[in-house]
Amino acid sequence: MSELQLKDLYDGFRDPDVIKALAQTITNEAKQLKEPLKIMEVCGGHTHTIMKYGLKQLLPDNIDFIHGPGCPVCIMPKERIDHAIALAQIEDAILLTLGDMIRVPGSTSSLALERAKGRDIRALYSPLDAIKIALENPDKKVIFFAIGFETTTPMTAALLEQVEKQGITNLYFHINHVLVPPAVDAIMADGQAKINAFIGPAHVSVISGAKIYQPLPKMYHAPVVVSGFEPIDVLQSILMIVRQKNEDRCEMEIQYSRSVTLEGNTKAQEMIAKFMEPREHFRWRGIGDIPHSALGLREQYAAYDAENIFADILPTEPIDDHKLCICGTILKGLAKPNDCKVFGTACTPNNPMGSCMVSSEGACNAYYRYGEV
């Protein structure tokens, strides 16, 4: 077997001729659609692909996208960001987190600002790097601010497993892992959302399995196709949705079959279940309180739980977004980012007023960056 090449990650999934041919087939078959398609791509990764590759421009007018809540940085409410800032301000603390979290503004500061003031805040590429940092700094409190959907949760669990095994006592966890299905339910709950099909997340499904979307087609009369992140993946998934509609089917299908199975990664699921359990509720920026929509550490791991250990200094009051922000409406497909009064003026990626402008996977951010040329 030959060595895995980096180009194997994308080669063949961006072929211009295949993209053109798929777009043409979709355009032909979409003529038969009885009603316009409003597809929600749940995951921010798909939003990014659709905008970056300009896929909407290749498709007919009766296919539209509604950009979902699947960006873990975007949905973090301000009070949780304030938690990160409060933790970073503890004397002798090193705060670790992932990527975009660093620049997301909380109520009065951001991790980037705190770092500039001299706090020790580091962005990790792999959560397991936290072990090295904890071992190198035995006199410091190392706090891992864990974020992400089902995709990144196993890495946090694996880190905790190692911490326990190696007897590391100066590494704490602030868990913000959120779950896809409850968020979809929350958006669809009031019956106002104009969504009649779903593109299911890619990497989330590798872990949790496509089985988590099985109830959706029946509940909301909307097909679900679990899709990969490359432009050809997304176009093929759209074609599968169009065909379901034209053939009067309403099912869950897997386009991303090179990585996703129905059951998912059961080993990872077991590891998550060992350390974490669903919280009673969790507030989502732009959507509000959603029951059982996030995970927290189980009680027997309270000694590692930063929310427990540092409870005294963590703010508890919910902080809402500015009242001009319409992220909630955008997430339901009732408005587009450029319908918002503050889009691109008072609300920009450098100074986001609402969740969807925060990270490159948020709908408003993607519109701002790539625009509609």
Binding residues vs another protein (CB under 8 A): 3, 5-7, 9-10, 16-17, 19-20, 23, 51-55, 57-58, 99-100, 102-103, 112, 125, 349-350, 360, 368-371, 373
Nearer to another protein, 45 or 296 (CB): 45
DSSP for residue 324: T
For another protein, the closer of residues 5 and 316 by Cβ is 5
Residue that is written with structure tokens 């509940």 in the block: 219
Q: Tokens standing for 289? A: 């309180």
Q: What minimum distance in Å lies between the beta carbon of 130 and another protein?
A: 15
Nearer to another protein by Cβ, of 137 and 329: the residue is 137
Q: Quote the least distance from Cβ 103 to another protein, whole Å.
A: 5
Phi-psi region of 11 (alpha: psi -120 to 50; beta: other; left: phi over 0): beta
CA contacts within 13 A on the Cβ side of 282: 22
Minimum CB distance to another protein, residue 194 (Å): 25
The minimum distance between CB 309 and another protein, in angstroms, equals 30
Nearest to 81 by CA among 308, 303, 322, 355: 355
Please, what is the minimum distance in Å from the beta carbon of residue 231 to another protein? 8
Angle at CA 292, nearest 5°, toward 210 and 129? 70
| E strand or H helix that includes residue 283 | strand 281-284
- Closer CB to another protein, 55 or 212, in the complex: 55
The DSSP code for 161 is H
Closest distance to another protein from the beta carbon of 190 (Å): 34
Asked whether the beta carbons of 121 and 111 are under 8 A apart, the reply is yes
Bridge-partner residues for 178, per DSSP? 294
Cβ 197 vs Cβ 219: under 8 Å: no
Q: Which is nearer to another protein, 4 or 316 (CB)?
A: 4
C-alpha distances (whole Å) from 323 to each of 107, 328, 329 are 15, 11, 12
DSSP alpha helices (H): ranges in 166-202? 180-188
Which CB, 103 or 292, lies closer to another protein?
A: 103
Residues with Cβ within 8 Å of residue 30, at least 6 apart in sequence: 37, 59, 60, 62, 63, 242
CB of 3 to another protein, least distance (A): 8
When the beta carbons of 138 and 371 are compared against another protein, the nearer one is 371
Coil, helix or strand at residue 33: coil
For another protein, which is the closer residue by CB, 20 or 267? 20
Nearest approach, Cβ of residue 125 and another protein (Å): 6
